[in-house]
Amino acid sequence: MNTTQLATASPMGAPVNPWMMETGSLWIWAALVLLTAIWTLKDKRLPLFGLVLIAATSGFWQEFFGDWGAYVAWNPAFARLPLWGEMAFTTPVKPLFIPFSWGWWFAVSIPLLVVLVRWLHAKFPGVSILTLAMLTAFPLFLAYQIQVEGSSVANGWWTYDTVIGPALESPKGRLPLIFPLLLGLWAGWFVAQLAKRDSGGLMPHEAKRGIASQPVGWRREVSRAWWMIVLFQVSFFIVNIAPPIIGRLLFGGPSLLVP
């Protein structure tokens, strides 16, 4: 069955403007990779958006396990990742654009929120960075996720086969609110960690891993990238991926779209 037949057979129908996710994600991601390379060559140091780009792109695999727990079914009309078909505890359709969409979205949103929180902290030094992040990054991320996820469900890009808790309604499906809430909480905490700096300009996880003692050069930047990957993936999995998986295993039922 080809992608057109799959889209017709899917309860979601054909996706609206799929190029926005497929082609758009690839081009934005490629542009950020180029900017990262230019910035790194100029400063001999990976920029924050480059670190997040690397970490988020490498963490895309978590999407499909979290989708299984949340009963997310992607539209089968999307081009799919090669070499990764159906697998236990993952949603069956795995779109090709996911690594790129993860990379560019977090590489743009997180550093911008870090800049905002650091600017606010300079204005209000008596307020902790974590508090400022929760007052800014958390609601902004939550609002964006509700808007984008809601419109994506309405556009037939994906749907939730089973919904638990409060949800937003759309003609093509329902959007549970618990998952955007978790993502917003994670974003607030993560932005706070990246906004904190020591006297040498290092983030807390870098300082704890002895980055300051390493000589300037590519080995140091590889180490910074590695520990950003660890921080991103471990924290993201604990807050956003493990809860829906555990929830479905303990309380969930069968699903036709996300078996």
Distance (Å, whole) CA 246 – CA 253 = 12
Condensed to tens digits (0 to 9), the pLDDT of residues 228-258 reads: 999 999 999 999 999 999 999 998 889 989 9
Condensed to tens digits (0 to 9), the pLDDT of residues 23-42 reads: 999 999 999 999 999 999 99
Nearest partner of 107 among 33, 158, 162, judged by Cα: 33
Minimum mean pLDDT range among 80-94, 95-109, 154-168, 236-250: 154-168
What values do phi and psi take at 18, rounded to 5? -65, -20
Looking at the chain, the whole-number percentage of residues with pLDDT higher than 90 is 72
**120 has a pLDDT exceeding 50:** yes
Q: Where in the chain are the domains?
A: 3-251
Distance (Å, whole) CA 156 – CA 13 = 7
Q: What is the largest CA-CA distance in the chain?
A: 61
Residue-level pLDDT at 10:
56
Distance (Å, whole) CA 178 – CA 160 = 13
Of residues 202 and 20, more confidently modeled = 202
Nearest partner of 228 among 27, 45, 65, 34, judged by Cα: 45
Q: How confident is the model at residue 55 (pLDDT cuts 50, 70, 90)?
A: very high
Mean pLDDT, range 160-180, rounded to an integer: 74
Amino acid (1-letter code) at residue 101: S
Condensed to tens digits (0 to 9), the pLDDT of residues 199-230 reads: 889 999 999 999 999 999 999 999 999 999 99
Q: Are 207 and 145 in contact (CB under 8 A)?
A: no
The angle subtended at Cα 220 by Cα 216 and Cα 221, nearest 5°, is 105
Long-range pairs, 111-115, Cβ under 8 A, ≥24: 111/47, 111/48, 111/49, 111/52, 111/194, 113/137, 113/140, 113/141, 113/187, 113/191, 114/48, 114/191, 114/194, 114/195
Residue-level pLDDT at 247:
92
What is the Rg, in whole angstroms, of the alpha carbon atoms belonging to the chain? 19
Mean pLDDT, range 137-141, rounded to an integer: 91
* Average pLDDT along the chain: 90
Distance (Å, whole) CA 120 – CA 232 = 23
Residue-level pLDDT at 223:
97
Residue-level pLDDT at 102:
97
Structure tokens belonging to residue 44? 């001999």
Distance (Å, whole) CA 232 – CA 111 = 13
174: Cβ contacts below 8 Å, ≥ 6 apart = 153, 160, 163, 167, 168
Distance (Å, whole) CA 68 – CA 94 = 11
Residue-level pLDDT at 167:
73
Residue-level pLDDT at 173:
58
157: Cβ contacts below 8 Å, ≥ 6 apart = 12, 15, 16, 18, 21, 74, 75, 78
Q: How confident is the model at residue 2 (pLDDT cuts 50, 70, 90)?
A: very low
Mean pLDDT, range 148-170, rounded to an integer: 76
User: Which of 11-20, 98-107, 145-154 ranks highest by mean pLDDT?
Assistant: 98-107
Minimum mean pLDDT range among 23-37, 109-123, 135-149, 210-224: 135-149
**9 has a pLDDT exceeding 50:** no
Query: Could you tell me which residues are beta bridge partners of residue 176?
Result: 167
Query: Could you tell me which residues are beta bridge partners of residue 169?
Result: 174
